[in-house]
Structure 1
Amino acid sequence: MPPRPSSKPKVLIVLHQETSSPGRVGHMLLEEGFDLDIRRPPLGDSLPETLEGHAGAVVFGGPMSANDEDEFVRRETNWLNVPLKENRPFLGICLGAQMLANHLGGKVEGHGEGLVFRRVLFRSPAETYPNQAFRYGDNAWGIQFHGELTRLMMQRWVVRGAHRFELPGAQPGRDHLGGRLIWDMHLKRWLSEFLSLIFGKPTEG
């Protein structure tokens, strides 16, 4: 017999590489009782025309830029009208936040004051990337930092993307790992509370 469809509410998860993972965000959503509907638009996956069947959506990051001319970048950016029009819970992380900013008519830049948002929630002490999180309306959120990283994911990033940590204004990889040991417990607690704020507690249908 085919498996019975799950009655758990599902969250749309948008990833941008074949090996990408929703990381700690995915783990926490599963622990809270959500199912994950994972789509990878760069690999040909479509995005739903409505989020009526979803509890919300999370668009993650990737090596590309929200200003790139790739078809899937334009398609995803335009698709953000779905959660905004339906007022569904939405979280954009890094690339996802930049797409949201572009969709709303903001400007995404690598340096300077950069992103200017309706409601900035977090600022970095570094002048290069001052705006780290914003909120639009009731249910749309964007964060520029990577709270979804598990310790293993961060270690892989530091090793495989070592050249990125040598760019101007970048924090050295060893400092990322050292800071993670100090702040990980606090970050995990914050992320759990943040996801609960956005998606609430699931109710099975």
Structure 2
Amino acid sequence: MSNFPDTIYAIQHVAFEDLGSLEDTFYQLGFRVRYFEAGVDDLSKAYEHKGLTIILGGPIGVNETEDYPFIQKEIDLLKVRLSNDLPTIGICLGAQLIATALGAKVYSGTTKEIGWSKLTLTDHPINPLNTLQNIEVLHWHGDTFDLPENAKLLASTEAYPHQAFSVNEHILALQFHIEASADSMEKWLIGHTCELRNASINISKLREDNQKFAPQLEPVASQIIKNFMTSLVN
């Protein structure tokens, strides 16, 4: 791995949203994983990390800085990190934090997008998400964002045209949940029960879809991460 740091730092915004299936991929590649809890831990070390830092999802929004002041601290730290082009992946809330730090607007979408569906991938030769063609991914969001300046759009859905973008080779923002795994989704259904019921989501159907589609997503997600890490360490 040359001189690339051997620890992946992951920032959690709620305990049950972790690296999911991606954690095993990092272990297979020889990396260790260290979690930081937003709102509890000092996140400076995670945001100043020279290796890969992954910013995970959560039920709060980037604009809720008055109620959750630590979000603004995250944004300020992230601005510095991104300006230094340090390797960063943002998932869901993490993607929205990256968009905000890059000066783009984040706002409520026209509808909540919760469930499994396919992406429309942007047609260009170096799209790191190309292997997700015709693969169902998990969506779980109500906010969206404008595309930051100099960002490359990678994927869309009908309801949310900005589903993923990259900046240079080291920054990847994913609105959807690439980390979803079949064997740990029940804790999401428990933890997000209020949101699911308020959005009139059929929990039994969502559970069935998780069991059907997550096993298909997991190996593809693993390969995407392996390709991303190869581009970092070589």
Q: TM exceeds 0.5? A: yes
Contact 1:32 1:202 in 2 (8 A): no
What corresponds to 1:91 in structure 2?
A: 89
Shift of 1:199: 1.9
1:26-41 matched pairs, under 5 angstroms? 26-41=23-38
What corresponds to 2:131 in structure 1?
A: none
Corresponding residue SS for 2:109: coil
Q: 2:204 aligns with which of 138, 153, 174?
A: 174
Worse overlay, 57-66 or 192-201: 192-201
Q: Does 1:12 align with 2:9?
A: yes
1:93-172 matched pairs, under 5 angstroms? 93-112=91-110, 114-117=144-147, 118-125=151-158, 127=159, 129-168=160-199, 171-172=201-202
Separation in 2, partners of 1:186, 1:144: 19
CA gap 1:44/1:24 in 2 versus in 1, 3 angstroms = same
Contact 2:16 2:188 in 1 (8 A): no
What corresponds to 2:224 in structure 1?
A: 194
Shift of 1:109: 1.5
What corresponds to 1:63 in structure 2?
A: 59
Contact 1:14 1:60 in 2 (8 A): yes
What corresponds to 1:3 in structure 2?
A: none
Contact 1:9 1:202 in 2 (8 A): no
Contact 1:13 1:36 in 2 (8 A): yes
Worse overlay, 177-186 or 67-76: 177-186
Contact 2:16 2:187 in 1 (8 A): no
Corresponding residue SS for 2:218: helix
Corresponding residue SS for 1:101: helix
Corresponding residue SS for 1:163: helix
RMSD after superposition? 2.6
Q: Percent identity?
A: 21
Separation in 2, partners of 1:173, 1:120: 31
What corresponds to 2:77 in structure 1?
A: 79
> 1:39-95 CA deviation, whole Å, 9 max, x = no partner?
11311333226323x2x1100011211111122111111111343233222100111
Question: Which of the pair is proportionally richer in strand?
Answer: 2
> 1:117-138 CA deviation, whole Å, 9 max, x = no partner?
132212123x2x3322111222
Contact 2:186 2:207 in 1 (8 A): yes
Q: Aligned residue pairs: how many? A: 192
Unmatched segments (≥5 aa) in structure 1? 1-6
CA gap 1:122/1:150 in 2 versus in 1, 3 angstroms = same
Separation in 2, partners of 1:47, 1:73: 13
Worse overlay, 88-97 or 20-29: 20-29
